[in-house]
A and B are shown apart, each in its own frame.
Chain A
Amino acid sequence: MIRRRHLSRLRLPLAAVAVAFGLALAAPSVLAKGKQPTKGKTDVPRLDLPALKKQLAGSEEDIVAALRTIEESGNVEGAPLVTEVLARGGTEAIVEEALKAAGKLKSSSLSPSIAPYVQHRTEEIRRAAARALVKTKGPVAVSTLSKALRSEDASVRGTAATGLGELGARESIKDLFNALDHGVAEAAASIGQLCKPEECEEFAGRTGKLTFDVMQTGFDQILFRPATEISDDDKLKLVGRMRELGTVEVGKYLTDVGERWPKDWSKKVKQAIDSAAHAAAAGAKK
């Protein structure tokens, strides 16, 4: 199992590949010649903003194409244009493309213009908006996603719960617990990412009340957090709690954790994990 944080790290180069691939297909007329150097980062294609602006005043197809160009460029210079489109509103196709572009640009300046769309009546739009906010980040994203935990749309709730964890929104931990208790399974991993030791213990207290497949997403986050955040003693307690369950599922999970455990991390915890995995597997056989 790969930690979610690790996954997000992997996505960056993939995104760069996608942008590069997209560039080849993008409408060349609105891409300025050459690349625009940005502060110490990979070069991103320059945008012909006046041309894009003109295109954004055209037909639905023109607008979608312009947004796609901005999206594929990954150039934050396009952010004001995306903001403008979102503020003005448009057809579903336009809004969805604008949200995609916003997510790709990852600029927190876009979050305020994305936020209202999390409340849109069209489920595809509000879900895309929630996903975009996770990428654009910032205080507006956090407050909007916290509010989105209360949504009627289960998918939006799930995205919001996951996003709050990814955004490190410590201030949302109470809402996440509440969401978890209301069956928002995605909240478990985010709690695992954000909890302080006593909160992690509170989370672990739900073992047996919530299904293990939900709990393990949180346990995984807790176990792989650095010892500076969660002490080895706290991790040992968590492993002990899982050991008490003694199910095949726990055995399999802890075996997997043991395999992924970084070599230079606590030997004591590793030993406890292996021992618990072994005990759970043996107990389950009986």
Chain B
Amino acid sequence: MTARLRIAGFLGGIAAVACGASSLRGPAFKEDWQDDGGRAIAQVAARLDSTRLPESKGLVVGITKTGLVGMGLDGSGKWTHAGLPDARPSIAGGVVVFTAGGKLVGLDGASGRELWSVSVGDKHLRGAGDDGSTTVATVAGVSGGGTVVVAVARGGSVLQRWTPDQDVGIPGIAGTTVFAPWDSQYVSALDVATGDEIGRVLARTVVSRAVSIGGSLYFGESALVKFDSAIAKSARGEAHIVKLPERELPGKPTWFPSGVSVLPTNAGAPDSIRFYARPADRQGALGLDSERFAATYFRIVVGFNAGDGALRWTRTLPAEVIGGDAVTGGFAFCDVDGDVWFTDARAGGAAGKTAFGQPLKGCIVSAGAYHVASAGDSGSLTAQITEAIELRDSQMATIQRFLLRELGTNESDPGVTKTLLDLASDARTQPEVLAEARTLLAARRNGVDFMLTALERHYDFLSDVLRPPPVGPLADALAAVGEKRAAPLLAAHLNDPSDSPNDVRHAAHALLKLATPDELAAVRTFFSLYHSTANEDDLIAAAVDAARILVQIGGAEGTSIVEQAARDPLTVPAVREAITSFAPSKKG
């Protein structure tokens, strides 16, 4: 693996830097830095090329009402730590880092034991990195500014402290080099021993954090640039970079929050609306593990194909997701109930869970080296989407609309028609979801039997059918496929006042194509009732179509009815005007 930073080369690397690049050394975070064409950072990369950052076995840390709880992703080693942090904690390798009471504290992630504590005054944690022996953290004022980057040895001694004027994001560390992102475009490589800057990455994507994944270091925010031999070409946009395909998703999820912000202790909506993906080498190129990335929207998780961003799966969880991480082979999502759910990356199947057994206010997951085993049958995508859409939670309406649109793209499955019908007929369906379901139903060209069954229903107070079927969309769909069996059912809906005028309009229009003499009685009744009382556009249009049907297939009697209405001054003017154009005028 070329990205691995093998420790073996570390000492040799230091020598190389000391001998060959001493001229590049200088004060950290210099504003007047001149691009050196990547020479200095190339040397740093070369020195660290063999270094592989250690990974934990996978950790999850929860914030409760009274303090922190932690455990391995495998459910092992549960621990608690009394006292609340003053900002979102960070999991750096195997160390849990947080600030509280003016102290920056490091806990052993496996046991919760305090490793060290150093004073940081009134600063709050932005984030931290760790290389197995040294932890580096950025702390700052809550509202920004006053950044301090501090490197702490396992024993608790402060190895270096930087107090730059610039707003520094979340740092990483490899060997004795700290990587500090700042000004959205730079990552300064800082020597822990001297505090000097020994190289700099100029990124062509926003960088506000360093993150260690799979033993490698990445920089970024909405995309990740890998720290490897190609990093020197970053300024030319030729570094190894991984981006997520563009997807317009509800709530505009982000892959990572900005690293120059102090995140609140308690999770909020941005923590529930996130992208998760794990960079991985794929056939020599940088891609995503399992070729999948996931997005969360409170209780619903959706999985996408890494290549084209196509929806591959969705999963509905019992409680709101407030944290998570992409792990090898899948994803881990932590919810407000204190459960951590594992999902198979390929198909979204349930791959187990672990639990704190208590509600959480915030949750941080670090995948480490954890692997998600592939899950069993996770059902069809249609079934998964149906489950997500049927969730009766007004907060979910936006993602449900998104999923509905995705569902609608499946044109061959009659089950999709049934799902849409169920939604459109259910009185509990959210208005936005209902509107979307109706639009999609009108475009369906299969599942005709489901449609006919739905049309048999009418509003029925005594049977608790409190929402009539989506007559309008069904009329459109059934007329488009020329389904004559729909005619009597649509005719029966003409005279049902529980159907909306718009639905009736579409029913009448469909009957223009589908009606047979058997439907004449219903059409005649409708025309009689409304040619003089239609008081809105939909009813007027329906009355005009009813007149057309009477002329088309109603024989002499039907024509006579329309003729009379055309002459009747009490006929609604708009109806009269329209039917005069096609009603044969009586001679004499």
Contact = CB atoms under 8 A, between A and B. Distances in A.
Contact size range, B:
20 to 34
A92 B533 contact: yes
Contacts of B533: 89-92, 95, 120-122, 125
A179 interface: yes
Interface string A154-193: 0001000000000000000001001100100000000000
Contacts of A179: 462
23 contacts: A60-B570, A87-B528, A89-B531, A89-B532, A90-B532, A94-B570, A116-B495, A116-B525, A116-B529, A119-B495, A120-B529, A120-B533, A121-B497, A121-B501, A121-B530, A121-B533, A121-B539, A150-B459, A152-B459, A152-B497, A175-B462, A179-B462, A182-B461
The 5 closest A-B pairs by CB, nearest first: A89-B528, A121-B497, A150-B460, A152-B498, A178-B462
B564 interface: yes
B529 A89 contact: yes
A88 interface: yes
Interface string A118-141: 011110011000000000000000
A87 B527 CA distance: 10
Given A119-B495, A121-B497, A121-B539, A90 B461 contact: no
Contact of B497 (A91, A94, A119, A175): A119
A67 B564 CA distance: 20
A119 B459 CA distance: 12
B581 interface: no
A59 B531 CA distance: 16
Contacts of A150: 459-463
A88 B532 CA distance: 10
A157 B461 contact: yes
B588 interface: no
A157 B531 CA distance: 26
Contacts of B569: 59
Nearest to A178: B462
Most buried by B among A90, A120, A179: A90
Contacts of B525: 116
Contacts of B527: 89
B529 A91 contact: no
B3 to A, nearest CB: 66
A149 interface: yes
Contacts of B531: 89
Contacts of A90: 532-533, 570
Contacts of B461: 149-152, 157, 182
B529 A117 contact: yes
A89 B530 contact: yes
Contacts of B539: 121
Contacts of A95: 533
B462 A149 contact: yes
Contacts of A178: 462
A261 B31 CA distance: 104
A157 B459 CA distance: 13
Contacts of B496: 119
Contacts of B462: 149-150, 175, 178-179, 182
B342 to A, nearest CB: 46
Interface in B352-403: none
Nearest to B495: A119
A88 B497 contact: no
Contacts of A153: 497
A278 B529 CA distance: 56
A121 to B, nearest CB: 5
A150 B459 CA distance: 8
Interface string B528-554: 111111000001000000000000000
Given A88-B564, A149-B462, A120 B497 contact: yes
Interface string A26-64: 000000000000000000000000000000000110010
A122 B527 CA distance: 15
Contacts of A149: 461-462
Interface in B233-285: none
A197 B530 CA distance: 46
Nearest to B534: A121
Contacts of A120: 497, 529, 533
Given A59-B569, A91-B532, A179-B462, 8 more contacts: A63-B570, A119-B495, A119-B497, A149-B461, A150-B460, A152-B497, A157-B461, A182-B464
B497 A126 contact: yes
Interface in B73-118: none
Interface string B454-470: 00000111111000000
A119 B527 CA distance: 13
Residue among A87, A89, A117, A175 with the highest chain B CB neighbour number at 10 A: A89
Interface string A76-98: 00000000000111111011000
Contacts of B570: 60, 63, 90-91, 94
A181 B460 CA distance: 14
A122 B497 CA distance: 9
B563 to A, nearest CB: 12
A95 B529 CA distance: 9
A43 B527 CA distance: 38
Nearest to B536: A121
Contacts of A63: 570
Nearest to A113: B528
Contacts of B501: 121
Nearest to A119: B495
- Most-contacted residue by chain A among B462, B498, B529, B569 (CB, 10 A): B462
A88 B462 CA distance: 32
Contacts of A94: 532, 570
